[in-house]
Amino acid sequence: MSNNKPEQVGRVFERFFQETDEACCVLEAQVEASGQLGFVLLEANASFRKHAWCGETPPGHGREPALPLDEAWLELLREVALSGCDLHACLEGPEPEQWFEVRAFRAGDAARPVVGLRLRDISEQRRLVDRLQNLRRITTVGVLFWGAEFGLVDANEGFIQMSGFSREEAIGKTWQELTPEEFHPASWNAVRQVLTRGEATPYEKQYLRKDGSRWWGLFAPRKIGDQVMEFVLDVTQRRHAEAALREQDRRKDEFLATLAHELRNPLAPIKNGLHVLRLSTQADSPAQRTLEIIDRQLNHLIRLVDDLLDVARITAGKVRVDKRVVPLRDILTRSLEATQAAIDAKQHRLTVELPADDVHVAADVDRLTQVFSNLLSNAAKYTGAGGAIHLQVLAGEHQLDVTVQDSGIGIPAEHQAGVFELFSQVRDHQPHFEGGLGIGLALVQSLVRMHGGTVEVHSEGAGRGSTFRVRLPRADAPAQGRPADVAQPREGAARRILVADDNQDAADTLASLLRVEGHEVVTASDGLEAVERARTFRPEVAFLDLGMPVMDGLEAARRIRAAEELAHIRLVALTGWGQASDRQRTREAGFDLHVVKPLTPTAMQEALAIAAHA
Ligand code: ADP
């Protein structure tokens, strides 16, 4: 049994020899006629034969093999045959990008040497290594290799250039050392993704250069074996360009806000002056008709400026809605009142369909009125004369759907999604219809959202009319009857009134307006003068502008409140600012009422009525 072992082992080795992927052969060295040492094939395995390197005759016939190697390597083989030293080399084959790993050793003595030869095609591995080396050389994309503990084990030239570290300095660093503190959460998130699903969604963060400065990179890590390979693009320039754009955008917003404010200031005295003129002009005279035209145009201008101001406030996040539960009907009535003139002017047929019982919403009355006024005036504007406008409320258990439908020019499908964006206008409409600033619907959307609702548009296309649907959460009716409506102007007796404003025109027109109404009025142009006038004139009501030189309106109010003999004076703050915080400041200073400019004649009467009865 044991005698058989060498034979069995021989058979096993024979099988190994035949079955291995490496091309193996046994060569016999022979001195040729030329005196040179040549080689003939004694034996070759299957892989060797597969390559057809055996020449035309089968192995064992002593033919020279047709090896894919040139003369130079034959020299190496001769050296093996003569010296008995082993050969292990990578040699190029005759085909492009073809490489072999060659091993050779001598068996037998130097007199009749036999050489064992193994060839392994390593072209694919070489190509892979070449590719990796090219990856290391590229500079446009950084490539990082992270070890198991997230220490850097290798980095390419691109990353070296981006980071300013040499390769030696970079290797061994952890991502924590290279990432500024505030971006650690983003990196941890990526690490988690890589560990759980093998790769992370590409993400942007800052990295630290060697000199401590920062650069922006777009990172895309992926797990490969127990390492992580990460590609990174330097996006610093793009980030800076974006920041510059944002800054420009912010300045534009700021400019629009200032512009709207500055435009609004002169409008109040003009409006008031016009009112005075109309009251003192003969009815139905050419002058009266001209004043009416000016008034209409002025109202249009005031609406545009107000919209602009609203947009500026909304973009700055300064709009707050002050909600209370009111019947939706009240809001729609106010919206219809505001737009009736525009609807009538174009002889549109208006139909209104409301639920029989009152339904309620939690609403900032002014703001929600603005929403439906905008939709109704758009319906009137973008519908040819004699069209139809339908306002409908459908009440669900938890929501209210208000639709404003018109038979107008419609909106092509491709424009429908964009109409709610700021400054968007459907260009095809503009030549035929008086346009605005492209603000109205953006305001509508923001305000509806602030009420927890949604707005959407539907149109069958150009010429087929449009339907805007506002969906609002339905509120429960208030427990005790209807809440008080917005105060109506009340007729009042002649009063003694102080008007303080450093804008002479504003003060004068308001004073004229009040005098026309029969009140006795004095004016002051700064806070100090206002306090003086309050002492001497003893007004019942004082309108104080807040932004005045020498002493501002807040301080003037505090001083008036501090004087016992002036305690009865009703104080009305006039200001361009209407935030809750602004209102709180005026309340704290002792004002009875906070009025946002411009003070229109109606608002003036309301203010007077409320202040006088406060
Ligand atoms: P604008 O001040 O231009 O009216 P809006 O934001 O109110 O701005 O509307 C944006 C655009 O949407 C308008 O310019 C108009 O092209 C289109 N649009 C709005 N309402 C209607 C409507 N009822 N019918 C047709 N097009 C409309």
Atom from ligand 1 closest to the CA of residue 406: 23
For residue 571, pLDDT over 70 is answered with yes
Nearest to 280 by CA among 461, 515, 577: 515
Provide the Cα torsion 605, 607, 612, 614; round to 10°. Answer: 150
What is the distance between the alpha carbons of residues 190 and 195, in angstroms, rounded to a whole number? 9
Which residues touch 251 (CB under 8 Å, ≥6 apart)?
none
CA of 292 to the centre of ligand 1 (A): 27
Distance 207 CA to ligand 1 centre (A): 46
**Own/partner pairs, 187-195, CB within 8 angstroms, 24+ separation:** 190/219, 190/221, 191/150, 194/221, 194/222, 194/223, 194/228, 195/223
- List, for residues 242-268, the tens digit of each pLDDT value: 999 999 988 888 888 888 888 888 888
Decide: 199 and 222 in contact? Cβ < 8 Å: yes
**Are the CB atoms for 469 and 445 separated by under 8 Å?**
no
Q: Indicate yes or no: pTM above 0.85.
A: no
Q: Which helix (H) or strand (E) holds 511?
A: helix 504-516
- pLDDT tens, 155-173? 999 999 999 999 999 999 9
Ligand 1 site residues, Cβ closer than 6 angstroms? 378-379, 382, 406, 408-411, 419, 424-426, 429, 435-442, 466
CA distance 307 to 293: 21
Nearest atom (ligand 1) to Cα of 436: 2
Expressed in angstroms and rounded, the spacing between residue 300 Cα and the centre of ligand 1 is: 16
Q: What are the tens digits of pLDDT across the range 102-154?
A: 999 999 887 888 999 998 989 999 999 888 888 889 999 999 999 977 799 99
Give the Å distance between the CA of 425 and the centre of ligand 1: 6
Q: For the purposes of burial, counting CB atoms within 10 Å of the CB of 321, is it exposed (0-12), middle (13-18) or buried (19 or more)? A: middle
State the first-to-last Cα distance of the chain, in angstroms, to the nearest integer: 123
Distance 486 CA to ligand 1 centre (A): 29
**Cα separation, 575 vs 597, whole angstroms:** 6
pLDDT at 430 over 60: no
- Report the nearest-CA residue for atom 13 of ligand 1: 425
* pLDDT band per the 50, 70, 90 thresholds, residue 401: very high
How far is Cα 540 from Cα 534, in angstroms, rounded to an integer? 9
Sheet of strand 541-545, all strands in order from the earlier edge strand to the far edge: 520-524, 496-500, 541-545, 570-575, 593-596
Burial (CB < 10 A; 0-12, 13-18, 19+), residue 553, is buried
425 Cα nearest atom in ligand 1? 14
Which ligand 1 atom is nearest residue 410's CA?
25
Radius of gyration for the chain, computed over Cα atoms and rounded to the nearest angstrom: 45
Residue with CA nearest ligand 1 atom 19: 378
Residue 57 in this model has a pLDDT that exceeds 60? no
Task: Examine the pLDDT at 526 and tell me if it is beyond 50.
Answer: yes
Given a cut of 60, is residue 61 above it in pLDDT? no
Report which secondary-structure segment, H or E, holds 239. Answer: helix 236-279
Q: Which of 339, 372, 425, 457 to mutate to test the pocket of ligand 1 (most atoms within 8 A of CB)?
A: 425
Strands 87-92 and 37-44, sheet pairing:
unpaired
pLDDT for res 524: 92
C-alpha distance from residue 65 to each of 61, 77, 119, 426 (Å): 11, 13, 13, 81
Residue nearest to atom 8 of ligand 1 (CA): 438
Q: Ligand 1 atom closest to Cα of 427?
A: 16
**Is the pLDDT score of 278 beyond 70?**
yes
Distance 531 CA to ligand 1 centre (A): 49
